[in-house]
Amino acid sequence: MIKRFSAKNLIGAGFAIGAVILSLLIFETPILDDALGIDIFAVLERKGYDVLMQVRGERPSAQEIALIRLDEYSLDKLGGWPIEHDQYGAVMTLLSQFGAKAVALDLVIGESRKERDSVENELMVEYLKNASGIFNSIGPYVPEKSQVGRGDFDPAAVPVVGQFGIPAPQKHVFSRSTAVDDRPFAALAKVSTGLGHINLVPEDGVIRSAPLFIEYAGRLYPSLGLALALHRLGIKANQLNFTMNELGMNITAGSLEIQTGISGEVRINYVGDQSLLKAFSFYDILEAAQRQDVQYLSQFKDKICIIGPTTRSIGDFYATPVNASSPGYITHANFYDTIVTNNFIHRANGMLQFIILLVLTLIIGIVAQLSQTRIGVSVSLAIVTVYVLFAYYSFASANAWYNVAEPLFSAVLCFGSTVAYRAATEGKQKKMITGMFERYVDKTVVRNLISNPAMLRLGGETREITLLFSDIKGFTTISEKISPDVLVKLLNSYLTEMTNIIMRNRGTVDKFIGDAIMAFWGAPLPDDHATYNACLSALEMQDRLDKLQTKIRKYGDIEIRQRVGLNTGVCIVGNMGSESKFNYTAMGDPVNLASRLEGTNKQYGTGILISEFTHNLVSKKIVAREVDRVQVVGKTEPVRIYELIQLADKPVSTNLKQFLEAFQEGVKCYQARKWDEGVAYMEHAMGFVANDPVCQIYIERMKLFQIHPPEPNWNGVFVLASK
């Protein structure tokens, strides 16, 4: 058995290792993308990231963002697109004067040769001379890395934007730009507090991260979100320290620490659905100023305001993990909030993720190889569910991103391949065992044989079981009243009904001996409630037989009643017989006692007798009366026997309760040699249950002892002279 277990472990581990290797190849390397142009597995992992963020929902935020919408309403009120540039200056100045910590414009207002634009630009600058915390945007052009060299750039923008960049470290991971054509006109740049790039790089169409810096002409320019965050935190860009590491770049300044990815990107931890960020219409601010609505304008105090287009005709819209379509300024706002709240999402340690992947897949490989399929599915689902919950709570509570798609793929691949292997190698064996045994033994035995073919060998194991023997009263007399063919039909019908009850209550039918049944509980499958299930079966058998009497009378002028004996003890359970023919059965002294108790019912006129060993295990779950202390044929030690009456969870009638109390007192008097009192109690008991045969037996005994007292060493044990 140990060798078989170890072999199955090795097979399951082999499939697990194969699944892990394949998962690592297709998820962690570009092998499929390079060979077939397929990036579906990497996309799946990123989609798993999106699901984690969606399920997590809203996260705590700084509540500092105020979004200013350039919406259809504003365009309509201001005469359509383009809006006069001085209107931007007016709104930005208003927001600044009413206490906004920073005001950023998420679009680029560049140089223009049109006279009208020049006038508007001059007015805009005049407005902004009275404002502070003004940020504008640039749009660097970043070609593929293979298409640009360090000196390959257009320096025309340097005089305008150069003051807002910081010297680039000699070694870094940030993308290089060759041109910054999208930039504010020079006068606007001069009155700006800072500039930020607005480049966003989608992954499979979704904005999950943004470049923290972009290098242009040897200087680094922060993203708009970072520029605003540094302003809010009181950190100047030239105070930042850059250190390269295996993950990318580590940027620090005071308490601020940002770790980028290998391409200089930082994941944006979205606060939730875009509706969670408070937004205002651009025109409403102008209108509030016209009507001198101080209360309305005061709500921008201490806010970080970002102005951006929300109409598709002029704005850029992107998919994010939490929204199918969002205007670009939503992303910059979330990037800002990620930085100031220190809610950076970090990849879980790679080695730790590998260990989790390997251990999880190994467990599933072993479970799938050793267990029945439905158990394997349940356990595997439980393991996977626990991991998914772990990944979710790590993401939601610690911003740690663990792979989800890769472990799930590895688990499914491992389980599927292992089950397929089992089906191919064990199918024939299962079919053979099922065909041989399902008609002759209980289905639980067949299932156990399929799971443990080693049971087919001769021998057994020691188990504590509860045994049941039943027999039909007066079967010989019944057989004389009806023809043999009718008798067979009647017996088959009776045995079918009784067998169904036994098997329904997890019992194993050992054999039929004519009209007798031998069954047991607690083997081949363990059962913590074996003794209770045996008692339940005995009671249900009697109850079912009562209901069958009408059907039985159709076979002739007969009535079937049965006697049942129950005993619990340690037996040898297993395959007994010869090498060519054997039977799954139980052997041991408890078997003999159970059989004797069935026959002992004749002596006492009872229906179900159980031993003290059975009674002790279920005394709180049943209603029973102590019948006697007896010494059965073939035994030297006396045993207490009880009549099983009903289950304890059913109401006990007042009549039955009084009967049992009187009967118990009568038994006590009998054992104490108080014959007169004992007879009185027994007669009193029969006032509640007329002609009770056990009471009558005690009355006869005690009256006999009144005349012929027992020996002085008499211990109350009754010796049975027959089986």
Same domain, 492 and 631: yes
DSSP string of 524-581? SS--TTHHHHHHHHHHHHHHHHHHHHHHHGGGSS----EEEEEEEEEEEEEEEE-SSS
Phi, psi angle pair for 631, to nearest 5°: -120, 105
| Among 650, 668, 697, residue at a domain's last position | 650
Can you read off the two tokens belonging to residue 115? 């006279």
- If you average pLDDT over residues 654-667, what whole number do you get? 93
- If you average pLDDT over residues 316-336, what whole number do you get? 94
For position 149, what pLDDT does the model report? 58
Task: Give the domain extent around 260.
Answer: 65-342
Asked whether residue 380 carries a pLDDT value surpassing 60, the answer given is: yes
Q: Tell which residue, 310, 224, 232, has the closest CA to residue 268.
A: 224
Asked whether residue 8 carries a pLDDT value surpassing 80, the answer given is: no
Asked whether residue 439 carries a pLDDT value surpassing 50, the answer given is: no
How are strands ordered across the β-sheet holding 219-222?
Answer: 166-167, 219-222, 213-216, 175-177
Asked whether residue 672 carries a pLDDT value surpassing 60, the answer given is: yes
Supply the DSSP symbol for 107: S
For position 718, what pLDDT does the model report? 85
- If you average pLDDT over residues 651-674, what whole number do you get? 93
Can you read off the two tokens belonging to residue 326? 């969002």
Number of H helices and number of E strands within the chain? 24, 29
Same domain, 412 and 263: no
Can you read off the two tokens belonging to residue 626? 């102590």
Q: Is residue 694 one of the residues assigned to a domain?
A: no
Q: Bridge-partner residues for 249, per DSSP?
A: 244
User: Which of 233-242, 422-431, 538-547, 636-645 shows the lowest mean pLDDT across its residues?
Assistant: 422-431
Q: Is residue 698 one of the residues assigned to a domain?
A: no
Average pLDDT over the chain, rounded to whole? 88
Enumerate residues 6+ apart whose C-beta is below 8 A from 425. Answer: none
User: Which of 35-49, 148-162, 486-500, 524-538 shows the lowest mean pLDDT across its residues?
Assistant: 148-162
Same domain, 162 and 306: yes
- Pairwise CA distance, residues 648 & 623, whole Å: 5
For position 443, what pLDDT does the model report? 65
Same domain, 206 and 309: yes
- Residue whose tokens read 């008798």: 487
Q: Is residue 321 one of the residues assigned to a domain?
A: yes
For position 38, what pLDDT does the model report? 67
Asked whether residue 148 carries a pLDDT value surpassing 60, the answer given is: no
Supply the DSSP symbol for 457: S
- The model's confidence at residue 438, banded by pLDDT at 50, 70 and 90, is low
Same domain, 371 and 488: no
pLDDT-above-90 percentage for the chain:
65
Same domain, 334 and 354: no
∠ CA 539-637-596 to the nearest 5 degrees? 35
For position 29, what pLDDT does the model report? 85
For position 1, what pLDDT does the model report? 41
For position 32, what pLDDT does the model report? 75
Same domain, 397 and 297: no
- Predicted confidence (pLDDT) per residue in 292-307, tens digit: 999 999 999 999 999 9
- Predicted confidence (pLDDT) per residue in 238-250, tens digit: 999 999 999 999 9
Phi, psi angle pair for 686, to nearest 5°: -70, -10
For position 5, what pLDDT does the model report? 47
Q: Is residue 675 one of the residues assigned to a domain?
A: no
Q: Is residue 673 one of the residues assigned to a domain?
A: no
With contact defined as beta carbons under 8 Å apart, do 302 and 101 qualify?
yes
| Among 312, 342, 372, residue at a domain's last position | 342
For position 152, what pLDDT does the model report? 66
For position 436, what pLDDT does the model report? 47
| Among 603, 635, 650, residue at a domain's last position | 650
With contact defined as beta carbons under 8 Å apart, do 392 and 403 qualify?
no
Q: Tell which residue, 54, 41, 48, 44, has the closest CA to residue 321.
A: 54
Q: Is residue 680 one of the residues assigned to a domain?
A: no
What is the CATH classification number for the domain harbouring 617? 3.30.70.1230
Mapping DSSP onto H, E and C, the string for 291-332 reads: CCCHHHHHCCCCCEEEEEECCCCCCCEEECCCCCCEEHHHHH
Same domain, 591 and 533: yes
Same domain, 110 and 256: yes
For position 378, what pLDDT does the model report? 87
Number of domains in the chain: 3
Same domain, 15 and 110: no
Q: Tell which residue, 303, 313, 310, has the closest CA to residue 329.
A: 310
With contact defined as beta carbons under 8 Å apart, do 206 and 324 qualify?
no
Asked whether residue 115 carries a pLDDT value surpassing 70, the answer given is: no
- The model's confidence at residue 346, banded by pLDDT at 50, 70 and 90, is very high
- The model's confidence at residue 557, banded by pLDDT at 50, 70 and 90, is confident
705 SS3 class: helix
Q: Is residue 658 one of the residues assigned to a domain?
A: no
Q: Is residue 702 one of the residues assigned to a domain?
A: no
Same domain, 408 and 482: no
- Predicted confidence (pLDDT) per residue in 605-617, tens digit: 999 999 999 999 9
How many C-beta atoms lie closer than 10 Å to residue 11's C-beta?
A: 19
- Predicted confidence (pLDDT) per residue in 70-107, tens digit: 999 999 999 998 899 999 999 999 999 999 999 999 99
- Pairwise CA distance, residues 194 & 300, whole Å: 20
For position 3, what pLDDT does the model report? 45
For position 459, what pLDDT does the model report? 60
- Predicted confidence (pLDDT) per residue in 615-631, tens digit: 999 999 999 999 999 88
Same domain, 26 and 102: no
- Predicted confidence (pLDDT) per residue in 464-503, tens digit: 999 999 999 888 788 878 888 888 888 888 999 999 999 8
